Structure 1
Amino acid sequence: MSSPQTTTHNADAGQSGSPERDSSHPDHLRRNLSNRHIQLIAIGGAIGTGLFMGSGKTIHTAGPSIVVAYLVIGIMLFFVMRAMGEVLLFNLRYKSFQDFAADLLGPWAGFFLGWTYWLCWIATGMADLIGVTSYWDYWVHSKGAAVALAVGTLLLLLGLNLLTVKLFGELEFWFAIIKVIAISVLIVAAIVLVVIHYQSPAGHRAAVSNLWTHGGFMPAGWTGLFAGFQIAVFAFVGIELVGTTAAETKDPVKTLPRAINAVPIRVLLFYVLALLGIMSVTPWDQVHADSSPFVQMFGLIGFGAAATVMNFVVLTSAASGANSGIYSNSRMLFGLAHKGMAPARFGRLSRSGVPTWGLIFTVVLVGCSVLLTLSQSIMEAFTLVTTVASVLFIFVWSMILISYLRYRKLHPQAHRTSVYPMPGGRVMCWVVLAFFAFVLVLLTQQPDTLEALEMTPLWFILLGVCWLVVRRRTRVDDSGTEAVPPQR
């Protein structure tokens, strides 16, 4: 039997007989993403360019101890996901966390959160496209040709996203399958190489002792570990992506909890074990900061063909990140438009149910921005945009937690009867918020991250000015979603 809350809110969301809830309405998002799509979208959100490309810099900065940073950040973000999941399932009319922020905190919160999340994915899309450029350069050895191929990849993703939302789900499904298989193969290969004590052409022997015999487990001390947090935080951006798919998920009550609950095991497998495997086979001080350690591992031990295959995998990972950004940004613009917070054009759906203008606008902006950014070195550009993205995502994650605290205050009974209550509740919210404040302080300690951090307040000043202009035109969201089938 369903709990009272499940029954109540499914009934709320399922008023398909009323005109405004008709699934054929041109402004209604359609529930075309199945359980397998959501599960793999969640995996794709947990494995991105920040891991495949950025971990080279974090290993170079912190040594083996960087796995501690990934583990701590992953645990903290699991509680953000649980808070988001409880509130989304509290009311199935919420299409994303932007909706519940606007409802629980006020229209200003929806405006700031929606546009900041949009900028998050613009910056992340730039980082992913920079990653695509770097990976193409592995083969073509020409920066100009690599940039052209990266832009071509972006345009291909746009064309596919313009067709149907189900095609986006299929793309992410197969992108994620490639990532999972590749990382699993890498972990198994690392174990085999350690067991047979493989010696690379450079004379390095694979051994678990590589984790502490090259200057210790924490060779750069606490300073090095803390310095590695910036890229480590960026590795997790997109982990909240399932929160933007709520309106297009066939069975959110069952599907969203399954996806969120799998976060801890993904962090352990894809981050901790993979990086420990790499640093056991290849001593951390042999890992280059400006390229992917996943590709480097096979290259340094003399497996050229395997390095080429892994480069293809990390290329698809970066393309997957860009694909997710295109999707999520178009949905954020859709929600903002239907609240009167963005141009009405972004709120129109094509016949296949996708927000065409939001997709096109996002792709054009990302493409133009990354071309400007690449005037400097790839890693400098990557550090700049990832720091900006990390700060903005910390704001988004914090707003999710603040919305949860407001939900607990306004709807205490809903929490008590929730089908998916957040463990730790209010206490863990404050713990995670304190952790985010700590990370922001860490970003002030390095010149490259401080420069990007100093740029982000300008965004919030701009948003504040824009809010003063549009606040009188805002309205209750006039779009909808297809009804959720009654739970048995």
Structure 2
Amino acid sequence: MVDQIKAVADEQASGEQSLRRNLTNRHIQLIAIGGAIGTGLFMGSGKTISLAGPSIIFVYMIIGFMLFFVMRAMGELLLSNLEYKSFSDFAADLLGPWAGYFTGWTYWFCWVVTGMADVVAITAYAQFWFPGLSEWVASLAVVLLLLGLNLATVKMFGEMEFWFAMIKIVAIVALIIVGLVMVLMHFQSPTGVEASFTHLWDNGGWFPKGISGFFAGFQIAVFAFVGIELVGTTAAETKDPEKSLPRAINSIPLRIIMFYVLALIVIMSVTPWNSVVPNKSPFVELFVLVGLPAAASIINFVVLTSAASSANSGVFSTSRMLFGLAQDGVAPKSFGKLSKRAVPATGLTFSCICLLGGVVLIYVKPDVITAFTLVTTVSAILFMFVWTIIMCSYLVYRKKRPHLHEQSKFKMPLGKLMCWVCMAFFVFVLVLLTLEADTREALLVTPLWFVVLGVCWLLMGKKRLANLRK
């Protein structure tokens, strides 16, 4: 065993089996933005608006506020030891090998499930232009494209994510500007509805569905934020992480306000919340309602790009997580080998094959929004587990290594207090998931994943895994 560990160390020292720091500050900033603007904003916001009405604005603000502290905790931990490749590394170091194992594999599964949701979303967006297009053809084409792009180099991933994110930013800013112009000009849609900010409170007030509707909005809204921690998986491939990571994390509040709050205010000002179709993207429907079908096609392209961006991020992060797990001895060795271009090709291929589960899901659940809700709820629950592990790691870090906290140049504000507040919030969201039948179904299924992981952990033997960490 000692000889094997030395062999791995020698390989890493020679640079043959180590990830390369090819992601620049430009890539990291846009990857972070791309992670903050998830498919849930484009695809799921129609349902969240119908559930909560204008109060959905406060839902997004609350979730964004909580996750900012999760990101700050993750940032301080990653920068406390630049040997950490991702949050599964510091979880294993601070909480024990079991935490690294559960976090790594759960995060892998998170992104596979999210990728399936993206495949479902892409299929729905493709129907906008090609109503007769077979679902499996669109899904297969996207998965093959993502595999090809990621098999190149990490820099290629960075470039693709940079432009994917740029398209999303330009589209949302354009939507906000066009919407504001419509409101200021008192634009009337073909149905006779005049654009006005008064729509936000005229149709039943800010909380038209009451407190129960407000709470229901959290169920899908949480999914819109999955991927916000993506910069944590790029740590080992980032040039100058001590500058890039803090910048990316600190800009999160501004992104939440611009990309979520302003966009939703504009959508509900041009189209009253009770006219928003829950099973369609309000970003597309907004332009259809005001008689601009060409613009609707452009926005449909944007939301399709957003889904592809999310899936692209998922393929990247899952392959890196498998690479780390293989090096720790808790995944097949082949996942820990890099191609000549320093890309974990075997892990990439395996993750892409798993994404095709989205095609199967569409056949099982033909209604796209039903399939999307089921998958996104499972994903949100698993992501909340990962975020909780990050907070638990931070609490142990503060207890065991106070000297590193004192030396840190990127301290988490209100550290210990906000850890407990955020974890209490995640428990609150889990309770809310029991209120609706579709989300309750997903909540009941999710524990099976942890049962499978637990059985595998026991079969592999805790002692052997503990030795690998020494």
TM-score in terms of structure 1 length = 0.92
The 5 Å alignment of 1:430-449 reads: 430-449=420-439
Alignment partner of 1:379 out of 352, 361, 369: 369
Matches of 1:374 and 1:279 in 2, distance apart?
Answer: 33
Shift of 1:395: 0.2
Q: What's 1:112 paired with?
A: 102
1:55 is the counterpart of 2:55 = no
**Per the alignment, in what secondary structure is the counterpart of residue 271 of structure 1?**
helix
Shift of 1:37: 0.3
Shift of 1:142: 2.1
Q: What's 2:243 paired with?
A: 254
Matches of 2:248 and 2:380 in 1, distance apart?
Answer: 23
Shift of 1:173: 0.1
Matches of 2:459 and 2:157 in 1, distance apart?
Answer: 35
Q: What's 1:428 paired with?
A: 418
Q: Percent sequence identity over matched residues?
A: 61
Deviations, residues 206-238 of structure 1 (Å, cap 9, x unaligned): 000010111222110111111111110000000
**Per the alignment, in what secondary structure is the counterpart of residue 161 of structure 2?**
helix
Please tell me whether the aligned partners of residues 120 and 358 of structure 2 are also in contact (alpha carbons under 8 angstroms): no
The 5 Å alignment of 1:298-447 reads: 298-376=287-365, 377-447=367-437
Q: What's 1:473 paired with?
A: 464
Please tell me whether the aligned partners of residues 341 and 473 of structure 1 are also in contact (alpha carbons under 8 angstroms): no
Please tell me whether the aligned partners of residues 86 and 420 of structure 1 are also in contact (alpha carbons under 8 angstroms): yes
Please tell me whether the aligned partners of residues 335 and 477 of structure 1 are also in contact (alpha carbons under 8 angstroms): no
Deviations, residues 141-186 of structure 1 (Å, cap 9, x unaligned): 0251x44123201210110100100000000000000000000000
Matches of 1:64 and 1:147 in 2, distance apart?
Answer: 36
Matches of 1:242 and 1:173 in 2, distance apart?
Answer: 13
**Per the alignment, in what secondary structure is the counterpart of residue 225 of structure 2?**
coil
Alignment partner of 1:133 out of 123, 136, 140: 123
**Per the alignment, in what secondary structure is the counterpart of residue 361 of structure 2?**
helix
Shift of 1:50: 0.5
Q: What's 2:441 paired with?
A: 451
Shift of 1:21: 5.4
Alignment partner of 1:230 out of 210, 219, 231: 219
Shift of 1:475: 5.7
**Per the alignment, in what secondary structure is the counterpart of residue 29 of structure 1?**
coil
Please tell me whether the aligned partners of residues 334 and 358 of structure 1 are also in contact (alpha carbons under 8 angstroms): yes
Q: What's 1:183 paired with?
A: 172
Matches of 1:81 and 1:372 in 2, distance apart?
Answer: 32
Q: What's 2:6 paired with?
A: none
Q: What's 1:214 paired with?
A: 203
Shift of 1:369: 4.2
Matches of 1:369 and 1:128 in 2, distance apart?
Answer: 8
Please tell me whether the aligned partners of residues 52 and 208 of structure 2 are also in contact (alpha carbons under 8 angstroms): yes
Matches of 2:114 and 2:464 in 1, distance apart?
Answer: 30
Q: What's 2:57 paired with?
A: 67
The code of the aligned residue for 2:389 comes to M
**Per the alignment, in what secondary structure is the counterpart of residue 110 of structure 2?**
helix
Please tell me whether the aligned partners of residues 338 and 477 of structure 1 are also in contact (alpha carbons under 8 angstroms): no
Alignment partner of 1:239 out of 228, 233, 253: 228
Alignment partner of 1:463 out of 437, 446, 453: 453
Please tell me whether the aligned partners of residues 374 and 381 of structure 1 are also in contact (alpha carbons under 8 angstroms): no
Shift of 1:374: 3.8
Please tell me whether the aligned partners of residues 334 and 355 of structure 1 are also in contact (alpha carbons under 8 angstroms): yes
Please tell me whether the aligned partners of residues 21 and 237 of structure 2 are also in contact (alpha carbons under 8 angstroms): yes
Matches of 1:220 and 1:271 in 2, distance apart?
Answer: 20
Please tell me whether the aligned partners of residues 86 and 232 of structure 2 are also in contact (alpha carbons under 8 angstroms): yes
Please tell me whether the aligned partners of residues 391 and 456 of structure 1 are also in contact (alpha carbons under 8 angstroms): yes
240-249 or 469-478: bigger deviation: 469-478
1:296 is the counterpart of 2:275 = no
Please tell me whether the aligned partners of residues 46 and 281 of structure 2 are also in contact (alpha carbons under 8 angstroms): yes
Please tell me whether the aligned partners of residues 361 and 371 of structure 2 are also in contact (alpha carbons under 8 angstroms): no
Please tell me whether the aligned partners of residues 278 and 293 of structure 1 are also in contact (alpha carbons under 8 angstroms): yes
Matches of 1:369 and 1:129 in 2, distance apart?
Answer: 6
Alignment partner of 2:186 out of 190, 197, 208: 197
Please tell me whether the aligned partners of residues 24 and 239 of structure 2 are also in contact (alpha carbons under 8 angstroms): yes
**Per the alignment, in what secondary structure is the counterpart of residue 53 of structure 1?**
helix
The code of the aligned residue for 2:181 comes to V
Matches of 2:357 and 2:94 in 1, distance apart?
Answer: 36
**Per the alignment, in what secondary structure is the counterpart of residue 208 of structure 1?**
coil
Q: What's 1:86 paired with?
A: 76
Shift of 1:27: 1.3
Shift of 1:421: 0.2
Matches of 1:476 and 1:137 in 2, distance apart?
Answer: 52
Please tell me whether the aligned partners of residues 76 and 408 of structure 2 are also in contact (alpha carbons under 8 angstroms): yes
The code of the aligned residue for 1:456 comes to T
Q: What's 2:5 paired with?
A: none
**Per the alignment, in what secondary structure is the counterpart of residue 101 of structure 1?**
helix
The 5 Å alignment of 1:8-27 reads: 22=13, 24-27=14-17
Please tell me whether the aligned partners of residues 139 and 356 of structure 2 are also in contact (alpha carbons under 8 angstroms): no
Matches of 1:372 and 1:153 in 2, distance apart?
Answer: 16
The code of the aligned residue for 2:124 comes to S
Of Structure 1 and Structure 2, the greater helix share is in 2
The code of the aligned residue for 2:364 comes to S
